[in-house]
Amino acid sequence: MKVFFPGVSDHPILNDPKVRINGPRTNYDAAMLQFEQLINNKCFILTFIETLEAQKSFNIRDKVNVASLLMVVLMGKMEYATDILRSLLLRLIDKSVGTKHPQLMLRRTESVVEKMLTNWMALCMYNYLKDYAGSSLFLLFKAIKHQIEKGPVDAITHDARYSLSEERLLREQIEHGMVTLHVVQDDLDEKIQCKVLDCDTISQVKSKILDALYKNTPFSMRPSIHEVDLEWRHGRGGHLTLQDEDLTTKSVCGWKKLNTLAHYGVKESAVMSLIPRQNDSYNANCKQPCQNCTGTYFTNSLSPIITANGDIEAGSNLRIYHLVRPIDEHHYQNNKTSERTHKAIPEIFLTRLLSTKGTIQKFVDDFFTTILTANEALPPAVKWLFDLLDDAARRHGILDPEVVHAWKSNSLPLRFWVNFIKNPDFIFDINKTTTVDSCLSVIAQTFMDSCSTTEHRLGKDSPSNKLLFAKDIPHYREMVAHFYCDVQILPQITDQEMSTAMQQLSVSQTGEFDTVSALKELYIYVTKYSEQILDALETDPYCKKMHLAHKLENVACTLEGEETSTC
C-alpha cells in the first residue's frame, strides 16, 4: 500500500470487499464488472494506457495513480499483469533506444509502465523481503538508531553527535553522562533497566523507556509518548511528574531551555515509572490548526509541540531550545528547517562521521551482501526481468554493456531497494526519526553510487557522504557487477515456471483490496478522456474488430441504468 499510494492512508481500495459481495447488486457493480472485462482485454488496456499518456493534461501524478490502480485490479491475475508489463516495457525500450541517452530509461517515473514496474516488483519481491532479505535491513535500521541514541540528539534541530549525515551532525561539544534508570510498572513483575542520557529531554526519555518496555511490539500498537507521563519515584512515597516544560523551566536570554534529566538532578539508578497522562491542559499533541488562524499550529499553553517520535517542533511564537541555544532567530530557523549550505567539512567532523560509519559498517555490508546475492531465495521475477532487458539489448544491437547495466540498476536496486533503504517504515511497523532518516539517506546514496559505472573524482571539497564510503564503493561496485553476472548465468526461467510463480502470487493476493473501488477510481479517467479513448479504440484495427468501443459505451449505459440493447 505504501509503495502503490505513498502518503495515502484512507484510500477507497481499503474498503472491505466482502461487504460488497454480500450486499445487493447495483447498476454500479454491474458496470464495473463490464469495465473489468475490458481491462482483462490486452488490446483494450494497451490502447487505454497509450491514449491517456498522449493527453497533455495527463500528468505525472495521474500516471502514477493509473499504474497503481491497474495493479490493484490485476493483483489476482499476475500472469496477465506480467504479460501487460512485458509489452509496455518492450515499447518503452523501443522508444529509449532511439534517444541520445538510452541508459536513462527507468531512471525516473515518467510513464505508467515505470510505476507499474515498481508495483510489480513490490508484489513479486514481497515474500523474499519478508522471509529472507528484510531482517538484514531491520538490523541495519536498529544499529543506526542504537548508535544515534548513544549520544546527545537535539530534540529541536534533530542534530546528533553520532550521525552519518553532515546536515544532522551536532557540532558543539555537549557535556553528558549515561544514566541507568530502573523502570517499575504495575503490570510488570520485575523492574527493567533502561539506559538514557542526562541531557535527554523528558519526551526523549519516555521514548527510550517505551522502546525498552515494548521492544517486541509494533510501533503502532504501543502507547504514544503523549499518552503517558514520566514519574520519578524517590524517597519514601515521593512521586514527581517530569515534563519537557513546567514552572521550573529556565530561560536564557529570552530562550526557554527544555527540561532534561540533569535539570531535575536525576542520578544513576533512579526509579521511574510511566503513568497515564495526568494533565490534559498541556496539549502537546495538538496538531490541528485553531479556528482563528490558517495553518498555524498552537498549543493551549506556551508549550512546544511534540511529534510522535519525541522530537520537538517549535510553535509559531515560541523561542525554545534543547542542547544548543541559537545565536539568533535566523540561524535557528535555517538550522531547523533547511540543509546547511555545503562547504568542505572540517576534518574533525569528518572523523566523527567516520567513527559512526565504522560502528555500523558491518550492518551495511551484511545488507548489501544479502540483496546482491543470486541464490535460490531470489524470486524468478528478477531473472525474468533481467533476461528481458538482455534480450531487448541484443535485439536492438546495443553493444555498450553500461547501457544494460544501467537498465538493471534502474529497475531493481534504484527503483526497489533504494526506496526501502530510505523508507524502512514502508515495510516495518517502526518509528523513523528525522535523524535516523538522514543517516539512511547517506546509505541509500552510497548504494546508488555503487550501481553507477561512472567514476567520480573525489577531493577535500567533495560532499561528506561521498567521502565517507569512498574506500568501500569500488568493492560495492564489484558486488553489483557480480550479482548481474550471477543472475545472467542462472538457468533460464521457462514460461511454465513463470506462470506457476505468478499463479501462486495471484492466489496469495486475492481479496487484499476492494477491486471494485479501484475500477471506479480508474473509470474516472475513462469519463474524463472518453472521446479520445473511443476514437483510439475505433482507429485500432484489432480493437475495432472486437467492438471494444461499443463495449465501453455499454459500461456507461449500465451506469446510467439503461438497457444495453437500446443504448
pLDDT band at 7 (very low <50, low <70, confident <90, very high): confident
Q: Are strands 320-321 and 255-257 parallel, antiparallel or unpaired?
A: parallel
List of residues 6+ apart from 229 with CB closer than 8 A: 241, 242, 243, 274, 275, 276, 277, 278, 279
Please give the Cα distance from 86 to 77 (Å, whole number).
14
DSSP symbols for 214-226: TTTS-GGGSPPTT
Tell me the percentage of the chain whose pLDDT exceeds 90.
72
Task: Kindly state the greatest CA–CA separation across the chain.
Answer: 89
User: Could you give the angle at the alpha carbon of 221 between the alpha carbons of 220 and 225, nearest 5°?
Assistant: 75
Q: Give the per-residue pLDDT at 168.
A: 93
Q: Is the pLDDT of residue 24 over 60?
A: no
Q: Give the per-residue pLDDT at 298.
A: 30
Q: Is the pLDDT of residue 234 over 90?
A: no
pLDDT band at 309 (very low <50, low <70, confident <90, very high): low
Please give the Cα distance from 28 to 561 (Å, whole number).
9
pLDDT band at 458 (very low <50, low <70, confident <90, very high): confident
Please give the Cα distance from 138 to 363 (Å, whole number).
10
In 184-319, at which residue ranges do the beta strands (DSSP E only) sit?
192-197, 228-234, 238-242, 250-252, 255-257, 271-276, 305-306, 312-313
Lowest mean pLDDT among 233-237, 370-374, 409-413, 445-449: 233-237
Q: Summarize the confidence of residues 341-348 as an average pLDDT.
A: 66
Most confident of 91-100, 418-427, 552-561: 418-427
Q: Give the per-residue pLDDT at 333.
A: 54
Residue in 438, 464, 138 with CA at minimum distance from that of residue 311: 438
Cβ–Cβ < 8 Å for 258, 304: yes
Q: How many helices (H) and strands (E) does the chain have?
A: 23, 10
Q: Is the pLDDT of residue 119 over 50?
A: yes
Residue in 279, 281, 278, 282 with CA at minimum distance from that of residue 303: 282
List of residues 6+ apart from 395 with CB closer than 8 A: none
Please give the Cα distance from 389 to 495 (Å, whole number).
16
Asked whether the domain spanning 175-322 has the same topology as the one spanning 126-173+325-497, the reply is no
Is the pTM for the entire model greater than 0.75?
Answer: yes
Please give the Cα distance from 308 to 148 (Å, whole number).
18
Please give the Cα distance from 201 to 310 (Å, whole number).
9
Q: Give the per-residue pLDDT at 310.
A: 57
Helix (H) or strand (E) holding 248: none
Please give the Cα distance from 391 to 386 (Å, whole number).
9
List of residues 6+ apart from 415 with CB closer than 8 A: 106, 114, 117, 118, 121
Exposed e or buried b per residue across 433-449, where buried means at least 16 C-beta atoms within 10 angstroms of its C-beta:
bebbbbbbbbbbbbbeb
Domain coordinates in residue numbering, the chain: 126-173+325-497, 175-322
Q: Give the per-residue pLDDT at 471.
A: 92
Per-residue pLDDT of 158-214, as tens digits, reads 999 999 999 999 999 999 999 999 999 988 888 999 999 999 999 999 999 999 999
Answer CATH for 126-173+325-497 from 1.10.10.10, 1.10.1370.30, 2.40.50.140, 1.10.506.10: 1.10.506.10
Please give the Cα distance from 549 to 11 (Å, whole number).
30
Per-residue pLDDT of 405-421, as tens digits, reads 999 999 999 999 999 99
Measured in whole angstroms, the distance separating CA 460 from the mean position of its chain's CA atoms is 32
Q: Summarize the confidence of residues 45-50 as an average pLDDT.
A: 97
Please give the Cα distance from 549 to 539 (Å, whole number).
10
Q: Give the per-residue pLDDT at 288.
A: 39
pLDDT band at 564 (very low <50, low <70, confident <90, very high): very low
Q: Are strands 238-242 and 305-306 parallel, antiparallel or unpaired?
A: unpaired
How does the average pLDDT of the chain come out, rounded?
88
Please give the Cα distance from 197 to 180 (Å, whole number).
8
Per-residue pLDDT of 461-514, as tens digits, reads 778 878 899 999 999 999 999 999 999 999 999 999 999 999 999 999 888 899
Q: Which residue has the higher pLDDT, 558 or 307?
A: 558
Q: Which residue has the higher pLDDT, 300 or 374?
A: 374
Q: Is the pLDDT of residue 60 over 50?
A: yes
Residue in 42, 156, 81, 220 with CA at minimum distance from that of residue 501: 81
- 175-322 maps to which CATH number? 3.10.20.90
